[in-house]
Structures are given as structure tokens and as C-alpha cells.
């Protein structure tokens, strides 16, 4: 059996590695558009900030390590067309622009995403960046070390934008975030994002909400950012408006795509065409709480689904249990975490729900350095089953959200989790942990 993998970062290399372990005789050929394989893109802001001093630390396995496993790797090669009826892929070698055809028995598509870059005027000016690939991170790091880069404007208040804002402040830049919406980090509810916005402002970040970027001004490099409300100095701009699935090359292939371009797959990672699988940020993923496919581009989903794809390509029929959309972010001195359904999603699904928002602490006040934790729960009203949880605080937040994720995964009620036997010791938690307190407040 010959497997072609298009895209070699998270899902693709998880699938290739798993198949090779299960079927050592399988021929596996990987085509990756970039210059690196199997790296943790979520670590890019921390490389830019200097907290990680070597980008190689983000690489889980090198080309040479994969080749030792018997996997053939082609870097800087992109797929430009898939022809399912012939089981062929048209490939372009980006080094010399040579185009050739390769044939497969099974195909794995894991091309991830590309950044959204609207047709702003002046978008071609130098020092306007995105941060998606390891190459992007290396370039951005090099530019930010230049002494004449003082004013940084970040367009977009999502995960990457907020993380890079902190990275730039650490490098003593003047930072401004311009966000079209009325608040940042829209996957969280307002009770959680409000204190995060206050923390950004406290740390010196200029936060421009409800503001639309119209273009960029400069001679050769960017000098100003123009919006519908004003003009701001900028020596460097980061565009972090969002991403879209990198699936344009699949148009006309017959592979079924969602409205946003994401590949539609079942819980076994199969597309609508036999012998073609997909996973990662280019595909939809089954949401365990919503009980339907959703677009949630997270590395956690990509790695799990890639592993399942590799297992099923080998001839098995393993189904993904489903994602909860669990995610976390650090905003200077605060931790934010979320899992399951947001209140906005519960409203959209017309679920009869109830919410509670409580304040607790990470450990008892009589032990030094206790800090507050704010927790929001979304529960089904009739059964009190936990549907979603979000929290913010200085420390101990994300691991508590992990507790809620396990509870939601196992369809526990607030009453059940509120009486679960969690660890107690004054340096770590109270006899009634913040998790208990939130659950027991549910009406």
C-alpha cells in the first residue's frame, strides 16, 4: 500500500507515523509546502518573545528522523490538484517550479490553514507580517530585534494577536491592538474577556475595539495604519485576523467541502471519496457536546485525529470520540481556559440552560499568596449536566478547566462533580476547591 500525505506538520505526520508503526511495509510519501516538519506552531509567540531561544526546540521530529523510519519526505513541495478517479496528485516543486504527478492507494490531506489577509491598501509594504508557520516566526523574530522597530500594531484580538502583544511588550515595544469586534478572544464569554482586556491595558497595551483597519501608509515599509477612526504610527504590523482552511487546490476534485472550505469528514477521518482521508486544521471535527461537526483549528485535535487517520488507513475503523474545544491562553499575569460549550453556542442551539459565575481562590487565604479564580459554568437546566466551563485567574486556572473537560467528556452533572473527591492541602486547594464551589452554586 502506498500512502501520500499532503501536509507534514501535525495531523499528517501523526498519520504517517501511526501507519508506519502498524504497517511497517507501507510506502509513505509526504509532500510539505514549508521547510520544516512536525513542529509546535503554538510555540511561535514564545520564540518571538525570546522565552524560547532556539526555534529547533519546537520541532518534534526532523526530516532525517522520519526518513530513518522509512518515510519519504519532500519539503517545499505543494499539491496543486487531486484527481481521485485516477488516484493521482499533481505536485509542484517550489525549488525549481517543476510539476509532476504522483499516484496513491490512499491519500491523507492535512494542509492546515492559511492566514486571512484582506486586500488592504498598502498591504505590500515591508514589515507587515503574519504568524502561521515556523518560517513566519523566524522572520518576525529577526525583524523585532532591529532597534528601529518601536511601534507595533497588531490587527486582530484572537489568540495569536494577544500572545504576540505580550511578546512585543516583553521586548519593550509600544503595542497597539486593533480589533473589529467589541471585545477580544471571542471564543470566551464576556465575563472572562473583560478582566483580560483590563490586564492588557494595565500592561501598557493600547486596545482599540470596534475599529476597522482600512489600509497601511508608507514609502517602502509600513509607517502608519489607517482605520475608520484614526491613523496610528507603526514600524511593524502583525495581521492576525484569522485563518481559513488551505483547501483551494481541492476545488473541482469532488471532495466535499464546508462553506468555509474545510473538508467534511466522518468520525473515522474519511472524506466522501473512498481512500481519501483528512484531519487537522483543514478539516471539520466532531464536537462531543454539540454532537455535530464544527471548525475548531487546534493542535490537540490535529494530533489526535491524525493518529486515528493513520490507524484507519491501515484498515481499522476507530471513531474519534469528539473534541470539546478545550483551549487556554496566557495574558500577562492571567491564565484563561475554556472547554465545552459557550453561552453564545447554547443560545444559538436554543438549549434550555443555566449559568453561574463565581469567585473563589486557588488555595485558602490563610496560606500565603492566594489569588482569585473566576469560573463560569454553562449547564443544562433540567439535568444540571455540565455543558461548558470557562475560567480566569492568576494561577491554577487551566488545570481546573481540565477537570471540567473530563467531567463534560463523561457527561457529569454539576451535582456529581461538586461532590467529587479532589485533593486538599492548603498550599494547593481548599477543602472545597474552586471547582466544587462553582458546581455547588448551580441552581
pLDDT in tens, 352-404: 999 999 999 999 999 999 999 999 999 999 999 999 999 999 999 999 999 99
Indicate the range of 31-35, 40-44, 278-282, 328-332 predicted with least confidence.
40-44
State the CB neighbour count (10 A cutoff) for residue 388: 25
High-pLDDT (> 70) share of the chain, %: 100
Looking at residue 415, its pLDDT comes to 97
Distance CA 118, CA 186 (A): 20
Looking at residue 389, its pLDDT comes to 98
- To the nearest 10 degrees (0 to 180), the angle between helices 299-313 and 11-22 is 30
**Pair 302, 280: CB distance under 8 Å:** yes
Looking at residue 276, its pLDDT comes to 98
416-421, long-range: CB within 8 Å, 24+ apart, which pairs? Answer: 417/386, 418/442
Active site residue 42: yes
Here the cell at position 371 is 489569588
- Average the pLDDT over 6-17 and give the result: 97
Q: How many residues does the chain have?
A: 443
Q: Which of 42, 282, 305, 423 is catalytic?
A: 42
Closest by Cα among 158, 114, 149 to 128? 149
**Residues 117-160: pLDDT tens digits?**
999 999 999 999 999 999 999 999 999 999 899 999 999 999 99
- Average the pLDDT over 27-47 and give the result: 95
The owner of cell 470596534 is: 210
**Residues 400-437: pLDDT tens digits?**
999 999 999 999 999 999 999 999 999 999 999 999 99
pLDDT band at 47 (very low <50, low <70, confident <90, very high): very high
**Pair 299, 264: CB distance under 8 Å:** no
Q: For 332, phi and psi rounded to 5 degrees?
A: 55, -110
- Average the pLDDT over 234-256 and give the result: 97
Looking at residue 177, its pLDDT comes to 98
pLDDT band at 110 (very low <50, low <70, confident <90, very high): very high
Q: What is the mean pLDDT of the chain?
A: 97
- To the nearest 10 degrees (0 to 180), the angle between helices 159-170 and 190-202 is 20
Looking at residue 120, its pLDDT comes to 95
State the CB neighbour count (10 A cutoff) for residue 53: 7
Looking at residue 400, its pLDDT comes to 98
Looking at residue 182, its pLDDT comes to 97
Distance CA 283, CA 298 (A): 11
pLDDT band at 438 (very low <50, low <70, confident <90, very high): very high
What's this model's pTM, rounded to 2 decimal places?
0.94
Q: What is the 3-state secondary structure (H, E, C) of the chain?
A: CEEEEECCCCHHHHHHHHHHHHCCCCEEEEEECCCCCCECHHHHHHHHHCCCCCHHHHECCCHHHHHHCCEEEEECEEEEEEEHHHCEEEEEECCCCCEEEEECCEEEECCCEEECCCCCECCCCECEECCCCHHHHHHHHHHHCCCCCCEEEEECCCHHHHHHHHHHHHCCCEEEEECCCCCCCCCCCHHHHHHHHHHHHHCCCEEECCCCEEEEEECCEEEEEEECCCEEECCEEEECCCEEECCHHHCCCCCCECCCCCECCCCCCECCCCCEEECCCCECEEECCCCEEECCCCHHHHHHHHHHHHHHHCCCCCCCCCECCCEEEEECCEEEEEEECCHHHHHHCCCCEEEEEEEEECCCCCCCCCCEEEEEEEEECCCCEEEEEEEEECCCHHHHHHHHHHHHHCCCEHHHHHCCCCCCECCCECCCCHHHHHHHCCC
**Residues 152-210: pLDDT tens digits?**
999 999 999 999 999 999 999 999 999 999 999 999 999 999 999 999 999 999 999 99
State the CB neighbour count (10 A cutoff) for residue 116: 13
Looking at residue 85, its pLDDT comes to 97
- Average the pLDDT over 61-70 and give the result: 95
Here the cell at position 123 is 498591504
Amino acid at each position: 500500500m502506498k500512502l501520500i500525505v499532503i501536509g507534514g506538520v501535525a495531523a499528517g505526520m501523526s498519520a504517517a507515523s501511526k501507519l508506519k508503526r502498524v504497517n511497517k511495509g507501507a510506502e509513505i510519501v509526504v509532500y510539505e509546502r514549508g521547510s520544516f516538519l512536525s513542529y509546535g506552531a503554538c510555540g511561535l509567540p514564545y520564540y518571538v518573545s525570546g522565552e524560547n531561544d532556539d526555534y529547533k526546540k519546537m520541532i518534534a521530529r526532523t526530516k532525517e528522523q522520519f526518513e530513518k523510519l522509512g518515510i519519504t519526505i519532500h519539503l517545499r513541495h505543494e499539491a496543486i490538484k487531486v484527481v481521485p478517479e485516477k488516484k493521482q496528485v499533481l505536485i509542484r516543486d517550489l525549488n525549481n517550479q517543476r510539476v509532476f504527478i504522483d499516484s496513491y492507494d490512499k491519500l491523507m490531506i492535512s494542509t492546515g490553514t492559511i492566514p486571512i489577509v484582506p486586500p488592504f491598501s498598502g498591504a505590500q509594504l515591508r514589515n507587515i507580517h503574519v504568524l502561521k508557520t515556523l518560517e513566519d516566526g523566524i522572520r518576525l523574530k529577526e525583524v523585532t530585534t532591529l532597534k528601529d522597530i518601536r511601534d507595533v500594531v497588531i490587527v486582530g484580538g484572537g489568540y495569536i494577536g494577544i500572545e504576540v502583544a505580550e511578546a512585543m511588550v516583553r521586548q519593550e515595544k509600544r503595542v497597539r491592538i486593533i480589533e473589529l469586534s467589541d471585545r477580544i478572544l471571542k471564543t470566551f464569554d464576556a465575563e472572562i474577556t473583560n478582566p483580560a482586556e483590563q490586564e492588557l491595558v494595565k500592561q501598557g497595551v493600547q486596545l482599540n475595539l470596534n475599529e476597522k483597519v482600512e489600509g497601511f501608509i508608507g514609502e517602502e515599509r509600513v509607517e502608519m495604519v489607517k482605520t475608520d477612526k484614526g491613523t496610528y504610527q507603526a514600524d511593524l504590523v502583525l495581521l492576525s485576523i484569522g485563518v481559513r482552511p488551505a483547501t483551494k487546490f481541492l476545488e473541482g476534485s469532488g471532495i466535499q467541502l464546508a462553506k468555509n472550505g474545510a473538508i467534511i469528514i466522518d468520525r473515522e477521518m474519511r472524506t466522501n471519496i473512498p481512500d481519501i482521508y483528512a484531519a487537522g486544521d483543514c478539516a471539520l471535527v466532531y464536537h462531543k457536546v454539540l454532537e455535530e461537526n464544527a471548525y475548531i483549528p487546534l493542535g490537540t485535535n490535529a494530533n489526535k485525529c491524525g493518529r486515528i487517520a493513520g490507524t484507519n488507513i491501515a484498515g481499522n475503523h476507530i471513531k474519534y470520540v469528539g473534541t470539546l474545544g478545550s483551549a487556554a491562553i496566557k495574558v500577562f499575569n492571567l491564565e484563561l481556559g475554556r472547554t465545552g460549550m459557550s453561552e453564545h453556542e447554547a443560545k444559538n442551539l436554543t438549549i434550555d440552560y443555566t449559568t453561574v459565575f463565581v469567585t473563589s481562590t486557588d488555595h485558602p487565604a490563610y496560606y500565603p499568596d492566594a489569588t482569585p479564580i473566576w469560573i463560569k459554568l454553562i449547564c443544562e437546566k433540567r439535568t444540571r449536566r455540565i455543558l461548558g466551563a470557562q475560567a480566569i485567574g492568576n494561577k491554577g486556572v487551566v488545570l481546573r478547566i481540565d477537570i471540567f473537560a473530563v467531567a463534560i467528556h463523561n457527561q457529569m452533572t454539576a451535582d456529581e462533580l461538586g461532590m467529587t473527591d479532589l485533593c486538599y492541602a492548603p498550599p494547593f486547594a481548599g477543602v472545597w476547591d474552586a471547582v466544587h464551589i462553582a458546581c455547588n452554586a448551580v441552581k
